[in-house]
Amino acid sequence: MSAPPSSRPPSSAPRSLPAWLTHPLGWRSAPIPWTAMLRGALSAGPLLALGLLTGHLSQAVLAGLGAMLAGVNDRPGTRRTGVVHIGLPAVGGALGLLCGGLLADADSRWTAVPALFVVGWLSGALSVTGPVWSAAAMQCLVTAAIGAGMPIPGPAWLKAVCYLGGAVWLLLLRFLLRAPRHILRRGARREGEREAVAAVFDALADALHALGGPGAESARRRLIAAQHRADESLWLMRLLPFHGRREGRGSAQAHRVTERFAAATALCEAGIALLWEGRPLPPQVANAPRLLAIAVRADSAPGALASPVSDTVQRGAFDRALLTAAVIFDRTAPRETPVPPVVPIPPVSRVPYEPTRPALPPRASLNPRSARRALKELTGPGVLRTLGRAFAPARRENALRVALCVAASAAVALSLHQTHWYWLPATAAFLVKPDLGPLFSRVVNRVAGTATGVLVFTVLTLAMAGLGGLWWLVAVVVAGGALIPVATRHFGFQTAVVTLLVLSFVYAVGDTEATAARLLDTALACGIVLLVGHLPRLTDPRVRVGHRFAVALRHTERYLRHVLDDPRTDPRTGPRTGPRTGPRTGPATAPDTSAAPRGGDAKGIALRYAAYRALSEARAAAETAAAELPGLHRAHRHDWLAVMARAERVVDAATVCAVRVEQGVPLPTATEARWVTGALAAMADALEGGRGTPMPTLPPVPKDCRSLRDVMTELHGIQSLTTVA
């Protein structure tokens, strides 16, 4: 019998392959989205068939292209998240097609090179904002290249309308094709939002079961991701009302799911404090969020929950949040059916009782006339801030890399081709997109996927040559559209499916000799992107990844300032150290709410969500940087995954600080709070500055406040990991 791995000598331990070599083989596993596959099959295929029947093939191809790219963004979520995740990139693609159509009408084809450089710069700068804006910027750049070079007759505005019409067709299918349970169950209008809130409770139960084990960190990340999805779903439910203001069942369900998500938010905040503490919980306590999840899905009350055992401050916070959740569920449960009684939990003597946390206020009224306000909130501030900071280090580097790659690809393509030169810059735009994975992995998968798609289409063309007509292309497009929701799990698979669809569209408009040129254009685009992507001034991961960490630390600093900004602070003597709740004179007396906790109000919740959302984006950037091909500047290749682990602990410690302060733990002194918030701001500035920016001199670790001491300890660790010797 062989020895266990732990008993082997270190010299005989197998070496793991580098991440840049194994990343191209990675596959994201998930359940098969049968409904999304049905939508994909009915999206571009029927549009192409309609074009064949009516003789408007060019317009049908543009509509099919819009439906195809919209299908790439057709991810799980509510109807409102689909409107934003599909609709916003589609608008960007239509705008790019309009700009490309205007370029196609120019006197000289070479006008497209500087124009694509400008569009690439703006697209690269906008890609740093977030995943939805990144998808919109990518579609705008790709369709600008297609519109400038694809020989399709018609005015530019008509091309943009046809493209947008294809995306709207897929959105209409998303509204119509729902799973049967979404149609038959009572209250189906809020089914997606209820499922998102229930997933938060399920993720919390998984995290509580993982306390003290090796899977606690991954369970915490899944919990934060579930919170983000639910927060986005409910935010869009209030921001994009589809049914208007009603006093009937619809508004009651919206109010109920909002209040229950507010309870989930408080419970998750206390759960993060328990994860920080690391002490395992009894099974009946860890299963309590599971009962709440069942109650959310059934739209009922949870019944009896676990009794409190508040032996620590963190456990006391969790017990009180659980009691608050039970009260909210009991109060908001529909009274059409008997409600299981909630077992009363007596107040814990060691931790004073606080009132129920207020529900998140609606960000827009449930009124169709709020569309203008919704559009302004969705687009205005973010875009203005992005354009105003277009020359920040991270945006400048990403914008310059995208602009150089696309402009160089367009110049090479115009020198080699007379017709379908747009393929080369469009391919470069897909390759240079950083959130699709490491550059080397994208190049390998792009070549393999393109070769596979070209081979399959060539075989189909030879097999169908004797049939005559173009109706076999409809079957190919239907099959390819159905595969897109599954193909998005691997970049190579997605490239093969998209190549098959694009070749079908091009073949339909009469370009039957573009198959072989597709491989040459892909190889040239890969070479250009590899060359430009590894230029000395564009290879510093401290700029790309450090920016994400800087955003997370800045949000954490604002969150801590909000938590420690006690309204009862005396400017002469500093903050008071008493508990934040008023005295209780009896069971029937309501607690004093004049000094409500600051970390649990709407602003504190929004700041904490922003910090964790920035952390998730930083983790994606750190994992991408860890799997990049080793560049020229090895001295600047820090261990970003180790930095990520410490940054997560910084935000967790800030959350624990808020929980402890709300539980009556004495506030830190104003000097200590100023040290920590100033250190967070200084570290964020240093990480965003890029190469050559010195690390700040951090103040000493506070001795009186445990949570702030943890924050400063992790900041010192980040400083040691990112300091270049």
Terminal CA-CA length for the chain? 47
Res 273: pLDDT: 87
Q: How far apart are CA 613 and CA 229, in angstroms?
A: 10
Res 305: pLDDT: 77
This prediction's pTM: 0.75
Res 186: pLDDT: 44
Res 541: pLDDT: 65
Give the phi and the psi of residue 526 in degrees, each rounded to 5.
-60, -40
Residue bearing tokens 């580098």: 18
Low-confidence ranges of the chain (pLDDT < 70): 1-16, 178-190, 240-251, 335-394, 418, 434-435, 514, 536-542, 566-601, 631-637, 689-694, 724-725
Res 597: pLDDT: 44
Q: How far apart are CA 560 and CA 556, in angstroms?
A: 6
Res 439: pLDDT: 82
Res 441: pLDDT: 85
CB atoms within 10 A of CB 378: 17
Res 394: pLDDT: 65
DSSP state of 555: H
Convert the pLDDT of each residue in 410-467 to its tens digit: 999 888 876 778 888 988 988 887 667 788 888 888 899 999 999 999 899 888 877 7
| Burial (0-12, 13-18, 19+ Cβ within 10 Å), 654 | buried
Q: What Å distances lie between residue 133 and 111, 490, 526, 546, CA to CA?
A: 26, 21, 24, 20
Convert the pLDDT of each residue in 517-565 to its tens digit: 788 888 888 888 888 777 766 656 667 788 888 888 999 999 988 888 7
Cα angle, residue 199 at apex, residues 195 and 205 outer, rounded to 5°: 145
Res 164: pLDDT: 93
Res 48: pLDDT: 92
Res 162: pLDDT: 93
Give the DSSP per-residue string, 93-148. HHHHHHHHHHHHTSS-GGGHHHHHHHHHHHHHHHTTS-HHHHHHHHHHHHHHHHHH
